Chains A and B, each alone.
Chain A
Amino acid sequence: GAGVSQSPSNKVTEKGKDVELRCDPISGHTALYWYRQSLGQGLEFLIYFQGNSAPDKSGLPSDRFSAERTGGSVSTLTIQRTQQEDSAVYLCASSPEAGAGEQYFGPGTRLTVT
């Protein structure tokens, strides 16, 4: 079956612009996670969705970052007024249920802020 997909695969934006990153999880997976992979910080948790609600947003680095999930499926991560330090690979993962263990990762979106 289809895995987790993310779009775009690459995004170059100018400092100060807003960007939206999309994640399509595996069908039927209720838990969805966003992570960020950067050279300086490694892989960091950003936010977790159970269905359409986000009980854990503790990893969002600032109020410029927000995310939503609709229909228990697609999720969008939005970064407002992008800064150069936002440059990273943004990874989405899904799981059949929270705490199930294995998470299935998408290929990521590489964001470059110039």
Chain B
Amino acid sequence: AQSVTQLDSHVSVSEGTPVLLRCNYSSSYSPSLFWYVQHPNKGLQLLLKYTSAATLVKGINGFEAEFKKSETSFHLTKPSAHMSDAAEYFCVVSYGSSNTGKLIFGQGTTLQVKP
């Protein structure tokens, strides 16, 4: 079965320190991978996406993620956290062969940013 696993349900960092949110996927095919963010009482917003071009993907608000096929990972990073980064983050996969484009979501990681 195709799935995505977010390794931490909750991550807490101090403002100005690096952020690392971990994600592993399982796939028989070449996946498309995404990170979405959901701020409280707001809709889901795309942060970045990997679709088999460059393995290091840059997204909005200073976030980036690296696709590592050997590790089946797609971890999200940011060099310096801002208070406004506090939100729920979802690692998401979509599969290519009979691709309806449906998204499979990880369980989410809540990012807390302390002043």
Residues of chain B from 20 to 62 with CB closer than 8 A to chain A in the complex: 32, 34, 36, 42-46, 49, 51
Given A101-B49, A101-B94, A108–B43 Cβ distance below 8 Å?
yes
Q: How far does the Cβ of B55 sit from chain A's closest Cβ, in whole Å?
A: 16
CB distance from A88 to the nearest CB of B (A): 13
Query: When A101-B32, A101-B49, A108-B43 are in contact, do A42 and B102 touch as well, CB less than 8 Å?
Result: no
> Is B84's beta carbon under 8 Å from chain A?
no
Partner of B94, one of A4, A97, A99, A106: A99
B90 adjacent to A98 (CB under 8 Å)? no
With beta carbons under 8 angstroms apart, the residue of A33, A99, A102, A105 that contacts B99 is A99
CB distance from B54 to the nearest CB of A (A): 15
Q: Are A42 and B108 in contact (CB under 8 A)?
A: yes
Contacting residues, chain B, for A107 (C-beta < 8 A): 42-43
Contact A48-B100, Cβ < 8 Å, known A43-B90, A101-B94: yes
Asked if residues B44 and A45 are in contact (CB atoms below 8 Å), the reply is no
* B11 interface hit (Cβ, 8 Å): no
A105 contact set on B, CB distance < 8 A: 36, 43-45
Quick one: which of B68-115 are within 8 Å of A by CB?
A: 90, 94, 96, 99-108
**Measured between alpha carbons, how far is A42 from B36 in the docked complex, in Å?**
14
Cβ A56 vs Cβ B105 within 8 A: no
Question: Once the chains are docked, how many angstroms separate the CA of A100 from the CA of B49?
Answer: 11
Residues of the B chain whose Cβ atoms lie less than 8 Å from the Cβ of A21: none
A-B contact pairs, 6 of them (CB 8 A): A42-B105, A48-B101, A50-B100, A55-B100, A99-B100, A101-B94
Binding site for B on A (CB under 8 A): 4, 31, 33, 35, 42-45, 48, 50, 55-56, 59, 91, 93, 95, 97-103, 105-108
